């Protein structure tokens, strides 16, 4: 394994950077590996992040895209339908919960979230419920970077600058039950966190609440947070009780990454609307989707149609890529592999937690996993923020040829975690290599920050 020097310092005209530090120039990528122009190899242990579900440079996907490029790369959706979009919609609907067969394609996760929110609002108006407009979200959470998606994102660090420009939505605590120090069982904690939604609905006024949005398996804001099993059916009950739409943000957890096609499938928790992206296009083309049942779409059609759209919605090239991605998932059995390899990855991360007691929690589903680090897990005392433990760990792994992901989890302003989410083609031997590098990096981190190590 080649060791990477510190990032280079150079000018760039096409991007804004928070500092002058630059990463090396990419040359090529294949499978779970990426190479720089100077010949260094990296394991893409976070799928870039959590996008390249089927791995890089899959020949069948590239060939399908080339065939479509030879026919048409763009067709404006108000002028033409296109076969890749129609077929992708059919195949995608077949993988979703029954009845989720109305599909609207977009170019990314933020667009997908905004599409879900706008569909929900237009449905309420079309069905004589114009007082419903509030979308309750969780804190912390992340749902996108555009102003509409940011309004339902529970992250002060990201939203503070833009608060005067948008309508911020009500929040309830994310179900970070492992942190609770009480006498309740995890099942009881799950019910308690779900009941916080009902309390918020009553406080806001049930007739003003339109929807509740959540990530079934957490993403960047909570490092693969999984709620207690009891949480999911109770949330569904509460939404039904008050006529509120349940929106699942499956942008990161969907498209097979967790070992089921949707993260919510682990609990048979059926949403009213689903947002998908990232792994749906798997990095081959910008692609996302909204999925909803006809019962929500029909009132919009009867009242004039969906008042929403993007120029690249249903793009034939992007949809051809997505169609080929789904085909490769099936051909290679990648969802099943994500489940099996995910269990192995979780076991190995738990072994690391025994070796490094400052890893306070390991969580996730399938190949969407995370770990949280604390100076003292018993008292929940954090590592001093000035030590920048997460960034240091990421840099140590990067120097050793592994890319993992991390950000502050407590509303974007505190907390240390890292996420491991390799492509769904990963093998047991490759997971061993990933874990070995993480272990070596944690060893150095512990030494530098005076954190405990067992044996």
Q: Which two tokens stand for residue 66?
A: 């080339």
- Tell me how many helices (H) and strands (E) the chain has: 13, 16
pLDDT for 5 equals 44
Residue 20 has pLDDT above 60, yes or no: no
Lowest mean pLDDT among 47-61, 153-167, 231-245: 153-167
Q: Tell whether the model's pLDDT for residue 446 goes beyond 90.
A: yes
pLDDT, tens digit, 9 for 90 and up, residues 248-273: 999 999 999 999 999 999 999 999 99
Task: Look up the pTM and report it.
Answer: 0.94
Is it the case that residue 24 has pLDDT exceeding 80? yes
pLDDT band at 25 (very low <50, low <70, confident <90, very high): very high
Q: What is the pLDDT of residue 155?
A: 87
Greatest Cα-to-Cα distance within the chain, rounded to the nearest angstrom:
68
Distance of alpha carbon 297 from alpha carbon 307, whole angstroms: 12
pLDDT in tens, 80-123: 999 999 999 999 999 999 999 999 999 999 999 999 999 999 99
Does residue 75 have a pLDDT over 60?
yes
Indicate whether 4 pLDDT > 50.
Answer: no
pLDDT computed for residue 35 by the predictor: 98
The neighbouring-strand residues paired with 329 are none
The span from the CA of 43 to the CA of 402, in Å, is 5
Instruction: Kindly report, residue by residue over 204-220, the tens digit of the pLDDT.
Output: 999 999 999 999 999 99
**Total length of the chain:** 455
pLDDT value of residue 59:
98
Q: Report the range of poorest mean pLDDT among 224-228, 384-388, 427-431.
A: 384-388
- pLDDT above 70: percentage of residues in the chain: 94
Mean model confidence pLDDT for the chain: 94
Distance CA 143, CA 153 (A): 5
Measured between alpha carbons, how far is 329 from 307 in angstroms, rounded to an integer?
A: 33
4-13, 15-24, 147-156, 194-203: least confident range: 4-13
Q: Is the pLDDT of residue 1 over 70?
A: no
Residue 23: predicted pLDDT: 82
Q: How far apart, in Å, are the Cα atoms of 385 and each of 21, 348, 375, 388, 423?
A: 21, 27, 11, 5, 31
Decide if pLDDT at 325 tops 50.
yes
Hey, what are 325's tokens?
């991605």
| Secondary structure letter of residue 56 according to DSSP | B
The neighbouring-strand residues paired with 275 are 249, 290
259-287 as b/e: b if 16+ CB within 10 A = bbbbbbbbbebbbbbbbbbbbbbbbbbbb
């Amino acid at each position: 394994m080649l060791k990477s020097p510190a990032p280079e310092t150079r000018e760039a005209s096409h991007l804004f950077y928070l500092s002058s530090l630059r990463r090396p120039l990419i040359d090529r990528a294949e499978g779970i590996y990426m190479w720089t122009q100077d010949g260094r190899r990296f394991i893409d242990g976070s799928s870039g992040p959590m996008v390249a579900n089927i791995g890089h440079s899959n020949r069948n996907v590239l060939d399908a895209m080339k065939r479509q490029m030879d026919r048409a790369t763009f067709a404006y959706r108000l002028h033409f339908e296109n076969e890749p979009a129609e077929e992708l919609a059919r195949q995608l609907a077949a993988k979703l919960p029954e009845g989720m067969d109305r599909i609207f394609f977009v170019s990314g996760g933020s667009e997908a979230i905004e599409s879900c929110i706008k569909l929900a609002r237009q449905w309420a108006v079309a069905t004589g419920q114009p007082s419903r407009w509030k979308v309750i979200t969780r804190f912390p959470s992340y749902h996108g970077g555009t102003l509409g998606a940011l309004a339902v994102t529970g992250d002060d660090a990201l939203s503070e600058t833009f608060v005067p420009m948008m309508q911020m939505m009500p929040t309830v605590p994310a179900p970070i039950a492992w942190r609770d120090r009480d006498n309740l069982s995890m099942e009881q904690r799950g019910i308690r966190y779900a009941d916080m939604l009902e309390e918020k609905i009553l406080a806001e006024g049930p007739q003003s609440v339109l929807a509740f949005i959540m990530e079934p398996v957490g993403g960047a804001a909570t490092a693969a947070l999984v709620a207690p099993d009891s949480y999911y059916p109770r949330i569904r009950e509460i939404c039904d009780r008050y006529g509120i739409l349940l929106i699942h943000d499956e942008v990161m957890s969907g498209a097979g990454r967790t070992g089921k096609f949707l993260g919510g499938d682990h609990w048979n928790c059926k949403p009213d609307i689903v947002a998908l992206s990232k792994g749906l296009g798997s990095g081959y083309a910008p692609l996302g989707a909204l999925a909803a049942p006809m019962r929500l779409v029909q009132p919009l059609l009867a009242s004039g149609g969906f008042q929403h759209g993007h120029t690249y919605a249903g793009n034939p090239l992007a949809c051809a890529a997505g169609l080929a991605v789904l085909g490769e998932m099936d051909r290679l059995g990648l969802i099943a592999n994500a489940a099996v390899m995910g269990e192995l990855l979780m076991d190995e991360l738990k072994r690391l937690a025994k070796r490094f007691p400052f890893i306070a929690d390991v969580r996730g589903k399938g190949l969407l996993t995370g770990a949280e680090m604390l100076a003292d897990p018993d008292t929940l005392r954090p590592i001093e923020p000035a030590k920048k433990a997460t960034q240091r760990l990421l840099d140590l792994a990067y120097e050793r040829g592994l890319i993992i992901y991390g950000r502050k989890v407590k509303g974007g302003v505190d907390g240390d975690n890292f996420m491991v989410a390799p492509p769904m083609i990963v093998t047991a031997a490759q997971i061993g290599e990933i874990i070995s590098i993480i272990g070596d990096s944690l060893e150095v981190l512990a030494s530098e920050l005076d954190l405990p190590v067992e044996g």
